[in-house]
Amino acid sequence: MNSIGLFRNCVCRFVLAVLCLVAGVGAVQAQGTIGGPPTGGAVGACCLPSGNCVVMTSAQCTQFGGTYSGDATTCVGTTCVAAPTGACCTPNGACVVTTQSRCAQHGGNYQGDGVTCARSSCAPLPRGACCMPQGHCFIASQTQCTSVGGTYQGDSVTCAASACPIPPRGACCLPSGHCFVTTASRCQTVSGAYQGDNTTCTAAGCPQPVRGACCLPQGVCNVMTPAQCSQFGGAYQGDNSMCSLTLCPAPVTGACCSPQGGCSVTTPSSCQQHGGTYQGDGTVCSAIGCPPAAVGACCLPNGCAVMSAAQCQQGGGSYMGNGSTCLSALCPQPAVGACCLPSGGCTLTDARHCAQLNGTYNGVGSNCGALGGTTPCPQPQTGACCLPTGACVITQQAHCTQVGGTYNGNGSTCGSVTSPACSQPSTGACCLPSGGCIVATQSHCTQVGGTYNGNNTTCGSILSPACPPPTTGACCLPSGACTLTSQSQCTQSGGVYRGDGTSCATGAGALVCPPPATGACCLPSGGCSTTTQSQCTQIGGTYNGNGSSCGTAIGTPACPPPAVGACCRPNQFCAVMTAALCTQGGGTYQGNGTTCGPATCP
């Protein structure tokens, strides 16, 4: 994810966090017990910020932001007062209604008790250019820039006006013996040895580590370093040993009873990694009676489901005990209320979903009114909007501005055929860069890069055209090919124009376009390909410079292999892979160089 996408996601999570806290408070049943009798400790009355009272443990009460009245207290003898709420301006300029404590907890600016978002003017934090250590620049607030290790250039400063320094690069020798060109800081992060600024891999002469045959737990053999063999749980057969002369023992397997109640045949180490119980070498599932998984009702934020206690905890729910069902659990239902949409419509939903729709939440228990009756949501003002083409539409002022129109005022109409509200724009002949001619407005002619001949002018005829034919010449494209085109079209294609009247003809003395410069491109997968710099950038690779190569031997590749580590998948399965693959599969990456052990994935 790039840096800008990261900040947008952080802002969204902030607003959703505040809304979810408000919704979660109202979701608890008044004068009741959360999800049936709590387990694991003494219980008592808990006054929630919404003013409701429920019986729960002290820890659960704190989790919901409530005030615990003491062990063995009941809601019958407890009077709860709802905490006042008001508008809260978030750091990104958005507004949500919540309590003062919740607003401060998430870095917001509380506007006062009873103040609505409609009465608040929340201004976003000032933003400016942020220079990253790699030389990249993006627009962010000072806090956001500092949090990712950037250097803030000042409020309202643009990236175009900032000269972000580009760090020098040089050869980096990795412990594996591979070499690639990068910065000194990046070389250090991958445990490499930086060879100095502007050095090349050709001149670096990185030392090559010893390798040998490694018998992996699966019974297969691979040639690798002793450290790599140990990382994958293998048995190293000695320096310079070969797999062709090595006989690796087949892995011992047996039946494994998983915590979820299933059975599979696997190795003892794999069974232990997944929290299973190994039944012995050579055992089979058909002869083993694995006990069923202990499951029960789990009260989730959006309802109830039957699952194991571990699965319930992962989903952020409250486990009601082994053997419990959703019928007996009495999980609290999500609190809903009226949500006023930007279009003026109204829908019943919770605070979190209302925020996702960019709506205004009217509070838990509010409604949208009777069908055909009045709505609690303000209706947007509309009027006539004169478009640049001369057409007229009825829309809101903001939308009219977005499409470049002129708003005639709230309540205005488009008139009639004989008396239209919008005047028709003047048109004339527009000479295009290609030599063609169209009749258009002056603004549209400018947008397409044409030359406007004046209002009411025409394109003429075939014998007497209004526009002269374009001047063309040879254009050398980035691919090395040659094409006959105009200078502007050549520039748009990234080519080099050779002059008016030049041609791409072949033969003695003819123009020859030089082939494009290429070099080694290190791919995100760890592979290497010879491409141009622009092609390398398009596929997300790292370009090693013009004239660089991918290496000629297996031991001296130009690109380092991708870093791998343990990845905990949602089903508690652990596998060694790259961070990108782990994220794509919804897993949690444990860090480069980590391995799958018994306690890696809880």
Global pTM reads 0.28
Average pLDDT over every residue of 130-144: 82
Distances (CA, A) of 557 to 18, 172, 226, 391, 517: 50, 12, 20, 63, 20
Q: What residues pair up with 98 in beta bridges, in sequence order? A: 86
Give me the pLDDT at residue 38, please: 45
Q: Which residues of 458-489 are buried (b: 16+ CB within 10 A; e: fewer)?
A: ebeeeeeebbeebebbbbbbbeeebeebbbeb
Give me the pLDDT at residue 507, please: 58
Give me the pLDDT at residue 279, please: 92
The whole-angstrom separation of Cα 542 and Cα 549 is: 13
pLDDT tens for residues 522-554? Answer: 877 667 888 888 888 888 788 888 888 876 544
Which of 453, 283, 150 has its CA nearest to residue 142?
A: 150
Give me the pLDDT at residue 236, please: 93
Is 172 in a helix, a strand, or coil? strand
| pLDDT value at 370 more than 80 | no
Q: What residues pair up with 420 in beta bridges, in sequence order? A: 415
- Our CA dihedral for 437, 442, 448, 449, rounded to 10 degrees, sits at 90
DSSP assignment string, 449-464: T-EE--TT---B-SSS
Average pLDDT of the residues of the chain: 80
The whole-angstrom separation of Cα 129 and Cα 135 is: 12
Which of 270, 235, 234, 240 has its CA nearest to residue 255?
A: 270
pLDDT tens for residues 563-584? Answer: 788 888 776 677 777 787 788 7
| pLDDT value at 143 more than 80 | no
Contacts of 367 (CB under 8 A, 6+ apart): 337, 338, 348, 376
Give me the pLDDT at residue 13, please: 45
More confident residue, 177 or 172: 172
Give me the pLDDT at residue 214, please: 93
Average pLDDT over every residue of 311-331: 82
Laid out side by side, the sheet with 303-307 consists of 303-307, 296-300, 318-319
DSSP assignment string, 73-100: --STT----PPPEEEEE-TTS-EEEEEH
Letter for the amino acid at 46?
A: C
Triad 333, 335, 341: Cα angle to 5°: 140
Handedness of CA 240, 244, 246, 248 (dihedral sign): positive
pLDDT tens for residues 482-505? Answer: 888 888 888 888 888 888 888 877
Other C-beta atoms closer than 10 Å to the C-beta of 366 total 16
Give me the pLDDT at residue 602, please: 66
Give me the pLDDT at residue 494, please: 81
Least confident of 80-84, 201-205, 331-335: 331-335
Which of 111, 468, 491, 214 has its CA nearest to residue 98?
A: 111
Give me the pLDDT at residue 24, please: 40
Other C-beta atoms closer than 10 Å to the C-beta of 298 total 27
Give me the pLDDT at residue 417, please: 67
Other C-beta atoms closer than 10 Å to the C-beta of 190 total 16
| pLDDT value at 101 more than 70 | yes
pLDDT tens for residues 68-94? Answer: 999 989 888 788 888 888 888 876 677
Distances (CA, A) of 205 to 171, 196, 434: 10, 13, 54
Give me the pLDDT at residue 195, please: 93
The whole-angstrom separation of Cα 383 and Cα 414 is: 8
pLDDT tens for residues 249-275? Answer: 888 889 999 877 788 988 888 888 888
The whole-angstrom separation of Cα 262 and Cα 292 is: 7
